[in-house]
Amino acid sequence: MGICRITDTSLANLATCGEVINVVQCFFDPLRSFPIGQTQGVKSPFEPVSFLRGPAMPNRFMLAPLTNQQSHDDGTLSAEEHRWLTMRAHGGFGMTMTAAAHVQEIGRAFPGQLGICRDDQIPALAKMADEIRSTGSIAIVQLHHGGNRVPEALNNMTPVCPSDDPDTGARALSNAEVHQLRDDFIAAAVRAEKAGYDGVQLHGAHGYIICQFLSSDINHRTDEYGGSLENRARLLVEIIAGIRAQCADHFHLSVRLSPERFGMVMNEIIEVYGWLVDSGQVDFIDMSLWDSFKEPNEDEHKGRSLMEIFAELPRGEVRLGVAGKIHEPADVQRVLDAGVDIAILGRVAILHHDYPNLLRNDAGFAPRHIPVSAQTLAEEGLSDTFITYMSTWKGFVSD
């Protein structure tokens, strides 16, 4: 199968998301012609980053999509989550990404998780998009489904998975349910566009449902969505094709992947990465590495850091970001010097809502380290609910 490039014909006549599959031209060229030497020279973190589609980032700092449990139980955006995110946009982040937003009610994985599965969730999302974009930051929604990582008691529904999973009690999705899952990811992207966001990211990492389909450990399906890597990647490919067909040409689209844990195999993720590049359909690949600077777990790939492996892969005009233990300004520069385009900040962005602005104004800026007080976190825009959640992270909150 390979990855799929949407042809230019008949897209205007699509009636449903499912019909996307009839108008794609599939290809896989293992001998990609993109040069490796696309990242030469010293990069400043304050240089802009352009994309194939959508607006440029004004700098190379991205706010990681961080679980915060601050929204309402029905998935509508709360004032607390609005404040938390817009503070980071005002603080200088070039791309401000929401926490994972569930695309189906059964995919809600956390209490207080943001949702984008219903039209009534659009107005609050739109208000936040307007404010984020007013700062010059790019506004992005991360699209998510928890799959077998959803606690059954949270939604009072049996969680779903590519295949029956005795360990979690999740049941296998039927073929028709996989098609509905695909269409609901696409519909969520359409909602994000209606709400005024510059684009969306597909959460294919951390063992959530797209990642579960990619995993041969979890995905034991015998239909077109299981077996070979090409079949296991089919859901991701079809979601991408549908978003490209249903959203505007300038709509930004990225994918988050993990190369390790959760049943991921490095060589398979490298292959998926290449397919995404070759497709011409994604603008940005976000590699969630947990530790950007460590060597891989697999002996075959030792000798280089995880970020170096992906920075050295051909990617043409597709941008690469990495997340994982980027804390000090020197870490940011080290990532960029390795050839990565975007530094994705997570925990340190909780500690400093204005990390980019602080560094721009003071080259000697030294960020906080944990533990920090609840008062400090409140001053950085965390609600009591978010602070309580962060208290479950060992050593994060001091009191």
DSSP assignments along 234-289, one per residue: HHHHHHHHHHHHHS-TT-EEEEEE-SSSTT--HHHHHHHHHHHHHHT--SEEEEE-
Domains of the chain, earliest start first:
58-368 (3.20.20.70)
CB atoms closer than 10 angstroms to residue 341: 25
Question: What region, left, alpha or beta, does residue 100 occupy, with left being phi > 0 and alpha being psi -120 to 50 degrees?
Answer: beta
* Residue 35's pLDDT band (cuts 50, 70, 90): very low
- 21 has pLDDT over 50: no
Q: Which one-letter amino acid corresponds to residue 174?
A: S
Are 236 and 215 in contact by the 8 Å Cβ rule? The answer is: no
Strands 24-27 and 3-6: antiparallel
Rounded mean pLDDT of 4-28?
Answer: 37
Let me know if 280 is exposed, middle or buried by CB neighbors in 10 A (0-12, 13-18, 19+): middle
Tens of pLDDT, residue by residue over 98-155, are 999 999 999 999 999 999 999 999 999 999 999 999 999 999 999 999 999 999 999 9
Q: What is this structure's pTM?
A: 0.91
Tens of pLDDT, residue by residue over 161-194, are 999 999 999 999 999 999 999 999 999 999 999 9
Angle, CA of 102, 105 and 108, to the nearest 5°: 50
Tens of pLDDT, residue by residue over 209-264, are 999 999 999 999 999 999 999 999 999 999 999 999 999 999 999 999 999 999 99
State in Å, rounded, how far the first CA of the chain is from the last one.
54
Tens of pLDDT, residue by residue over 362-383, are 999 999 999 999 999 999 999 9
Angle, CA of 149, 152 and 154, to the nearest 5°: 95
pLDDT at 18: 44
- 25 has pLDDT over 50: no
Cα(282)–Cα(247) distance, rounded to whole angstroms?
13
Tens of pLDDT, residue by residue over 265-318, are 999 999 999 999 999 999 999 999 999 999 999 999 999 999 999 999 999 999
* Residue 13's pLDDT band (cuts 50, 70, 90): very low
Q: Which one-letter amino acid corresponds to residue 16?
A: T
Cα(101)–Cα(16) distance, rounded to whole angstroms?
23
Sequence length of the chain is 399
pLDDT at 7: 33
pLDDT at 41: 64
**298: helix, coil or strand?**
coil
Query: Where are any strands of DSSP class E within 78-146?
Result: 95-102, 138-144
Cα(183)–Cα(40) distance, rounded to whole angstroms?
40
To the nearest 10 degrees (0 to 180), the angle between helices 266-279 and 234-246 is 20
